[in-house]
């Protein structure tokens, strides 16, 4: 998991429940693949992420139970690429690496691939999109040795960028946005900070929150749906990674059955969640689909 990153911010103190009785989990694995990730799910149940047979990984769409590469004849099918979110119009955002190893965000809309690069950035990653076409993500600056100096969030719409920084933060990343324009992400006081916080931006205000459970040191918000439910991941005192679902002040920890690591990356209005899990600490990533309340498949 990438180490991200953080004013006048409220802190949510939360209660916890187990996800085991609330969801039916289905693993998602690309046929013949050595790695699968699932990062976003729209209200039609279409899922995006990435797959790998041999390196590098490539952007993936899961639709009506079928797994297929996204735009395989473009740079997404030749270089490293990963899709992070999709909206109900079928637009997809993510990132890909160029031949020099630098990341570029992308928007794929009606078969047209548009690079998204924050002006002056070393790397740009697009992490979310809503039905209005507003894209969110992060950009960074690296030094001459290739070390990341700072990370900032951004919003983008019709070619216009706005930088996003949590108040008084050292680093910020924006990971998801809903139909109202509320967005979520992660912040810290600097790249070497041992504590990382989640945040939500709604009605013009930033709200920071931390998962207060088992000595957690990292809370990362990855997506928010139209109802305001948030999914993400948290790090426990022993270094274990778990997903979470936040519904108001109630937090539910999400763990794929018997998995060593679980993350939650996408949620739609029906409360269906997608994310990643690994069977053992040495295993490759596998995607999953979590259906609330009853059994279901993507």
Higher pLDDT, 258 or 238: 258
* Residue given tokens 């996800």 in the structure block: 19
Per-residue pLDDT reduced to its tens digit, 132-164 = 999 999 999 999 999 999 999 999 999 999 999
Cβ distance 174 to 146 under 8 Å? no
Number of domains the chain is built from: 1
| Residues 6 or more apart in contact with residue 7 via CB below 8 angstroms | 166, 167, 168, 169, 206, 208
Phi then psi for 215, rounded to 5 degrees?
Answer: 65, 35
Cβ distance 255 to 262 under 8 Å? yes
User: Sign of dihedral through CA atoms 231, 154, 86, 204?
Assistant: positive
Peptide bond into 82 cis (omega under 30): no
Residue 283 sits in a domain whose CATH number is 2.120.10.30
Question: Residue 48: which pLDDT band, with cuts at 50, 70 and 90?
Answer: very high
In a domain, 65, yes or no: yes
In a domain, 182, yes or no: yes
In a domain, 298, yes or no: no
User: Which residue range is the domain that position 233 belongs to?
Assistant: 11-292
Across 18-27, 143-152, 188-197, least confident range:
18-27
In a domain, 44, yes or no: yes
The pLDDT, as a whole number, for residue 237 is 86
Structure tokens at 28: 């998602």
Gap between the Cα atoms of 263 and 102, Å rounded: 25
Q: Which secondary-structure segment (H or E) carries 273? A: strand 273-278
In a domain, 130, yes or no: yes
Judging by beta carbons within 10 Å of its beta carbon (0-12, 13-18, 19+), is residue 161 exposed, middle or buried? middle
Judging by beta carbons within 10 Å of its beta carbon (0-12, 13-18, 19+), is residue 59 exposed, middle or buried? buried
In a domain, 6, yes or no: no
């Amino acid at each position: 998991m990438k180490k991200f990153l953080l004013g006048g911010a409220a802190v949510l103190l939360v209660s916890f429940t187990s996800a085991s009785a609330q969801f039916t989990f289905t693993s998602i694995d690309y046929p013949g693949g050595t790695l699968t990730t699932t990062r976003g799910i729209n209200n039609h149940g279409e899922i995006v992420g990435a797959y790998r047979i041999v390196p590098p990984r490539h952007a993936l769409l899961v639709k009506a139970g079928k797994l297929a590469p996204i735009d395989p004849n473009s740079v997404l099918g030749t270089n490293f690429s990963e899709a992070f979110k999709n909206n109900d119009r079928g637009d997809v955002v993510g990132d890909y690496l160029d031949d020099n190893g630098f990341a570029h965000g992308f928007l794929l809309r009606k078969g047209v691939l548009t690079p998204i690069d924050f002006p002056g950035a070393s790397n740009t990653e697009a992490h979310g999109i809503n039905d209005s076409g507003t894209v969110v993500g992060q950009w960074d600056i690296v030094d001459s040795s290739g070390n990341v100096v700072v990370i900032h969030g951004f919003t983008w719409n019709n070619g216009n960028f706005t930088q996003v920084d949590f108040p008084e933060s050292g680093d910020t990343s924006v990971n998801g946005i809903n139909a109202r324009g509320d967005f979520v992400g992660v912040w810290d006081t600097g790249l070497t900070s041992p504590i990382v916080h989640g945040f939500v931006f709604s009605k013009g205000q930033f709200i920071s929150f931390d998962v207060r459970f088992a000595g957690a040191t990292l809370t990362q918000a990855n997506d928010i749906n139209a109802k305001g439910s948030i999914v993400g991941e948290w790090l426990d005192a022993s270094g274990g990674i778990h997903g979470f679902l936040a519904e108001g002040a109630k937090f539910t920890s999400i763990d794929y059955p018997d998995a060593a690591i679980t993350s939650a990356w996408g949620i739609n209005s029906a409360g269906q969640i997608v994310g990643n899990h690994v069977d053992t600490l040495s295993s490759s990533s596998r995607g999953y689909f979590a259906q609330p309340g009853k059994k279901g498949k993507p």
